Amino acid sequence: MNELIGRVFDFEKTIFPASSELFARLSSQGQEPKALIVSCADSRIVPEQIVQAAPGDLFVCRNAGNIVPPFANMTGGVSATVEYAVMVLGVRDIIVCGHSDCGAMKALSYPEGLERMPNVSAWLRHGAAAEHVVTTCSPHLEKADRIRAVSLENVVAQLTHLRTHPSVAAAMAQGEMALHGWFVDIEVGQVLGLDGDTGRFVPLRADRPLPVAMPAAQRIATDDYYAEAAE
Ligand SMILES: [Zn+2]
């Protein structure tokens, strides 16, 4: 038997019994995750490990390239996950988490060979803005530097897409939701966070305020007439 698959018996025998009270509570009371994370499917990135989440803590959506397609009137797994997390579970922090050495971002940066993978190719079109920003603003970047820049810009692009989802847009307008853009450097075990004020990714440090891409702040498009009518 595949050694990994065989470990399921350890879950039944040792892991579950050690947390049986937690699972009993989660089973009877339901889940109330504290955040939604959209991360890459890459096996080296384990969202629960990064934030040391216990069962019930973190709503997770993983796919190649940590992509959030913009809202559209078509069925999509990521869109449905975002909608459910916000509308039903009441999640009010969403993290888009990219990482170094990302295969999807390599393909987005250098798409040669993608013609044999029509689904990957179509999926990565949701990162087109990231590739175009880097090609336009930093045309001198090559190889690893270009891939890293595209990976960081891709986090920004997907945060922009998130805001097109009506559930997210409404929660943000109410001043209830914060969006976070993270990037994990696998080789050094460091997590960078996008600071929305400066537009830069900076290391997350316990002794500094958490950089937030879009902090919770009430906002409504209005004019004087609308504001007076609402009072
Ligand atoms: Zn990846």
Residues 53 and 113 occupy one common structural domain: yes
Residues 127 and 22 occupy one common structural domain: no
Residues 19 and 102 occupy one common structural domain: no
Cα–Cα distance measured from residue 83 to residue 201, given in angstroms and rounded to the nearest whole number = 27
Residues 115 and 170 occupy one common structural domain: yes
Residue partners of 38: CB distance under 8 A and separation at least 6:
61, 62, 63, 66, 67, 68, 78, 82, 94, 95, 96, 97, 158
Task: Report CA(99)–ligand 1 centroid distance (Å).
Answer: 6
Residues 3 and 46 occupy one common structural domain: no
Task: Report CA(45)–ligand 1 centroid distance (Å).
Answer: 8
Residues 6 and 50 occupy one common structural domain: no
Residues 7 and 51 occupy one common structural domain: no
Task: Report CA(125)–ligand 1 centroid distance (Å).
Answer: 15
- CATH at 142: 3.40.1050.10
At 226, is the pLDDT very low, low, confident or very high (cuts 50, 70, 90)? low
Residues 157 and 66 occupy one common structural domain: yes
Residue 102 pLDDT: 98
Number of domains making up the chain: 2
Residues 43 and 121 occupy one common structural domain: yes
The predicted-structure confidence for 172-185, as pLDDT tens digits, reads as follows: 999 999 999 999 99
Residues 38 and 104 occupy one common structural domain: yes
What is the domain extent for residue 132? 31-230
Task: Report CA(10)–ligand 1 centroid distance (Å).
Answer: 29
Q: How many CB atoms lie within 10 A of CB 174?
A: 13
Range scoring the smallest mean pLDDT among 14-18, 115-119, 161-165, 215-219: 215-219
Task: Report CA(97)–ligand 1 centroid distance (Å).
Answer: 9
Residues 24 and 82 occupy one common structural domain: no
Residues 15 and 40 occupy one common structural domain: no
At 63, is the pLDDT very low, low, confident or very high (cuts 50, 70, 90)? very high
Task: Report CA(40)–ligand 1 centroid distance (Å).
Answer: 5
The predicted-structure confidence for 4-62, as pLDDT tens digits, reads as follows: 999 999 999 999 999 999 999 999 999 999 999 999 999 999 999 999 999 999 999 99
